[in-house]
Structure 1
Amino acid sequence: MTERLGPDAVAHAAALLWGGALVAFPTETVYGLGGDATNGAAVAGIFAAKGRPQFNPLICHYPDAEAAFADVRADERARLLAARFWPGPLTLVLPRRPDCRVDLLAGAGLDTLAVRVPGNPMAQALLREVGRPVAAPSANRSGQVSPTTADHVLEGLSGRIAAVLDGGPCPVGVESTVLDLAGAGPAMLRPGGVPVEDIEALIGRVGRALPIAAAAGTQSLRSPGMLLSHYAPTLPVRLAAERVGPDEALLAFGPPLPGAAVVWNLSEGRDLGEAAARLFAGLRWLDAEGARRGCTGIAVMPVPETGLGAAINDRLARAAAPRG
């Protein structure tokens, strides 16, 4: 059985991680599936629990920048970004140090490592108690919708992991922005909780990585979250809907289109922050409720491609991608 733990059980959760077990925990973005990143067996257990392709690297979580930069080489840009956005929803891909503690499997055998300092107080307490880097992809089965509550975690992973720390709903709702600083110039590998405009205001122009279709064709992805068919509900997803049929569920943004069988509104007031926080819960609910009502698919109203809208649209594009 998977234990549901409260805030007073952080020490117990840390002991489980020390022993090589897997513990899901809340961050400000989504729930992460944590394992001791220095323990190869624990890292392999993460892949097994998720059914995750092993060429997709994991993000390693730390309590502060000093701890993170003990395992990777940080340049001036990395330190500027860490000072501005950590703790917070930004992941940096940096070169591994020769004495890096993290098992190579966590980085998919690459010479780089994705590192982040989450801002959630429960995550902070857990990471300080563990005293080791914790590898933690989203706490869901690979390809399914990312979890923003402990109930979501248990729906997909109950019986497959030791415990979940229940810290309530995640406020951001989409994963961290992933920024590659290991190449010739900074490149955004995945849009997320920190808008690229905010990053560029600090370090200048940021390049864009391969489109997700091209990224899916390589076996050496530098970032988590770059698989083409990802965050995918069971029902097919149709983007940029201008009308909706009576046999479709609707993921609305702003005033909903008329005629849908069932509706989940990301934000009636068209607030991108609210929409991001409600995205994964909405996809999950529409998938289940739509199937219960006999819907043939999920129609998605357009979301602006600005700020957090870029991250929302990235997730929706993955949800709508053809299934392999």
Structure 2
Amino acid sequence: MELSLGGSLMDTKIYHFKEIDAAAKDLRDGQLVAFPTETVYGLGADATNEDAVKQVYKAKGRPSDNPLIVHVASIDMVEKYAAEIPDKAWKLMKHFWPGSLTIILKIKPGSLSKTVTGGLSTVAFRFPNNQATIELIRRAGVPMVGPSANTSGKPSPTTAQHVYHDLHGKIKGILDDGPTQVGVESTVLDMSTDQPTILRPGAVTKEDIESVIGSIENNHHHVGKNEIPKAPGMKYKHYAPAAQVYIVDPSDDWADVANWIKSLSYPVGVMATSDILAQQDWADNAEPFSLGDDVVSASAELFDGLRHFDTEPRIKAIVTQAFPAKGLGVAYMNRLNKSAGGMHFADRQ
């Protein structure tokens, strides 16, 4: 039995497209509604309702200095809150929105609460490429905050079922639009400073952005204990299942991985492309999960695989295939490194 945040039972409803009006009303009434995007599912609340936003932090167990991304359904919505939209930001919005690019801008003083901004004078805006969520925002008539709809620190949700597993009984509803397509969260680009900088890599790559506005910087660092992160994923532990994840690098021999698993007395999850899974003679204690054929499918399947093994307490380790850190591989490896805590197969004890 699960309890709501207020201590009484809460039924978590599954909404479908035809029920968007009901979901929009719940949002306007200050309730929490999870929503689909092309990347992962988000946990939505009216970004202009401070009490509702506070409930997002509470439902997720999210640190209060971890800022939230504000989801919009038009550039007009951004103009209502942004102090200014630089020319380069305009170009990016017109080129990539709706899509997997989040843009950080300076905001008008007092236009959004510090609960949304993490106490900063900037906010991250995103126009997701999902028609159900675009309609949800339009019908609600307000922008939505939308961190990933999971327990903080756990792998991000790519299906409504993942959301239900983590947040059932804690939120009003989930707008179900099937599995997400991209699977890793949006690229976060800081446009509030003179030099545009990627703070979190995603499906929109550095090369994609530079083709529109010219040279930009990368800065995916892990911020210090006393720093306030400008973007999600820069400070706290993320994407981690209970079992230890080991990164299997391209230089590693998968035969060595298979032999290591044979030597163990407990089950091990194996996340790799279909060809690698087919090449080895796996022991009975190896549990395979296919990442598809390439980095595109692997990015879409990564969180699903991590969550799959996280529901099996007997799994004590997960070995996961690495890809070259180029293009979409930058985002994939960013998430995999965080889920593994930087632990590689070659470093195992």
The 3-state SS of whatever aligns with 2:104 is: strand
2:334 to 311, 314, 318: 314
- How many residues align? The count is 315
Measure, in 2, the Cα distance between the counterparts of 1:91 and 1:209. Answer: 15
Shift in Å, 1:285: 1.2
User: What is the Cα deviation at residue 99 of structure 1?
Assistant: 5.8
Residue in structure 2 matched with residue 64 of structure 1 by the alignment: 74
- Give the corresponding residue for 2:3: none
Larger Rg: 2
CA contact (8 A) 1:107 1:113 kept: yes
Residue identity in the other structure for 1:88 = G
Q: Given the alignment, which residue of 298, 315, 323 partners 2:318?
A: 298
| Match runs of 1:76-91 below 5 Å | 76-91=87-102
1:273 aligns with 2:284: no
Deviations 1:298-324 (A, max 9, x none): 11122121111111111111111189x
Once the two structures are TM-superposed, the CA of residue 228 in structure 1 deviates from its matched residue by 4.3
In the other structure, the counterpart of 1:209 is: 219
Contact 1:228/1:318 (<8 A) preserved:
no
* Contact 2:220/2:234 (8 A) holds in 1: no
Distance change >3 Å, CA 322–CA 195, structure 1 → 2: closer
Contact in 2 for aligned 1:38/1:132 (Cα 8 Å):
yes
Task: Give the gaps of 5 or more residues in structure 1.
Answer: none
Are residues 1:44 and 2:69 paired? Answer: no
2:242 to 198, 218, 234: 234
* Residue 304 (structure 2) pairs with residue 284 (structure 1): no
Give TM-score, length-normalised by structure 1: 0.93
Instruction: Provide the rounded CA distance (Å) in 1 between the counterparts of 2:103 and 2:220.
Output: 17
Name the residue aligned to 2:273.
Answer: 253
2:233 corresponding residue in structure 1: 225
Q: Secondary structure at the match of 1:285?
A: helix
CA contact (8 A) 1:147 1:281 kept: yes
Give me the whole-angstrom Cα distance separating, in 1, the residues matched to 2:17 and 2:224.
38
Letter matched to residue 275 of structure 2: P
Letter in 1 for 2:334: D
CA distance in 1, matches of 2:177, 2:229: 31
1:165 aligns with 2:191: no
The offset of 1:182, in angstroms, is: 0.8
Percent identity among equivalent residues? 41
**Deviation at 1:75?**
0.3
Q: 1:181-237: per-residue Cα shift (whole Å, max 9, x none)? A: 11230110000121121001111121111522xx15343100112234201111011
Q: CA deviation at 1:4?
A: 0.6
**Residues of 2 paired with 1:19 and 1:63: CA distance?**
19
Alignment deviations for residues 19-70 of structure 1 (CA, whole Å, 9 cap, x no partner): 1100001011111100011111011000000000111100001101121122
Q: Give the alignment's Cα RMSD to 1 decimal.
A: 1.7
> For residue 176 of structure 1, what is the amino acid of its counterpart?
S
For residue 115 of structure 1, report the CA deviation from its aligned partner.
0.4
Question: What residue number does 1:104 align with?
Answer: 114
Q: SS at 1:70's partner residue?
A: helix
1:100-129 deviations in Å (ceiling 9; x for gaps):
2x2221110100000011110000100100
The Cα offsets for residues 130-165 of structure 1, whole Å up to 9 and x where unpaired, read as: 111110100001001111111000000000000001
